[in-house]
A and B are shown apart, each in its own frame.
Chain A
Amino acid sequence: DAGITQSPRHKVTETGTPVTLRCHQTENHRYMYWYRQDPGHGLRLIHYSYGVKDTDKGEVSDGYSVSRSKTEDFLLTLESATSSQTSVYFCAIRASGGGDEQYFGPGTRLTVT
């Protein structure tokens, strides 16, 4: 257990509304990631962070923004949700030292109607 929580765990929202998902970690890891999981695609990287206020785009960043004002929190925002953003969103951290593996939160299921 890498001490990662995500909130909310489930959300239904309407097209065009803003949505923010939160990832919280308790172990002071520097690197954090946001992925989306869709059938047939595995996981795709949306954005990642390598420190407070340091973020970069991933493979599928269009329509998403992120912020990291504290080490422990990494926020993912959909400024104006669309139906194509219906997905399961996972946050991950990279464990420091050792093998630098990624560990995942429990996920947020987002439905945009």
Chain B
Amino acid sequence: GNSVTQMEGPVTLSEEAFLTINCTYTATGYPSLFWYVQYPGEGLQLLLKATKADDKGSNKGFEATYRKETTSFHLEKGSVQVSDSAVYFCALRMDSNYQLIWGAGTKLIIKP
């Protein structure tokens, strides 16, 4: 079946460090891929997406590239801030039913 695997957290970094959160997927067909972010005490917010191979999604300094050959959609940011502390979820969506399949989430902690 379809599934998403994320690196386990928490990931702890210092402010201005480079961030990578790994996400790989298993899917039959060609899913759309998403990153959502959940700040403490809040609901999930769409961060970025990519709908086909080699697409790059970007938002708020975060980027992720849809790599079909490695079935990956790793999230990156060049210089993190304390305000980026949150839980990040990777998800895939098969366009046959538009349902989202979620990774377990990765908690990111940024220290000043």
Contact with A along B34-73 (1 / 0, CB 8 A): 1010000011111001010000000000000000000000
Q: How large is the interface on A (under 10, 10 to 19, 20 to 34, 35 or more residues)?
A: 20 to 34
Q: Does B7 make an interface contact (CB < 8 A)?
A: no
Could you tell me the dominant secondary structure of chain B's interface residues? strand
A106 pairs with B42, CB closer than 8 A:
yes
CB-based A-B contact count at 8 angstroms:
41
Chain B residue at minimum C-beta to C-beta distance from A6: B43
B104 pairs with A41, CB closer than 8 A:
yes
Q: What residues make up the interface of A, taking CB atoms closer than 8 Å to B? A: 31, 40-45, 48, 58, 90, 94, 99-107
Q: What residues make up the interface of B, taking CB atoms closer than 8 Å to A? A: 4, 32, 34, 36, 42-46, 49, 51, 89, 91, 98-100, 102-105
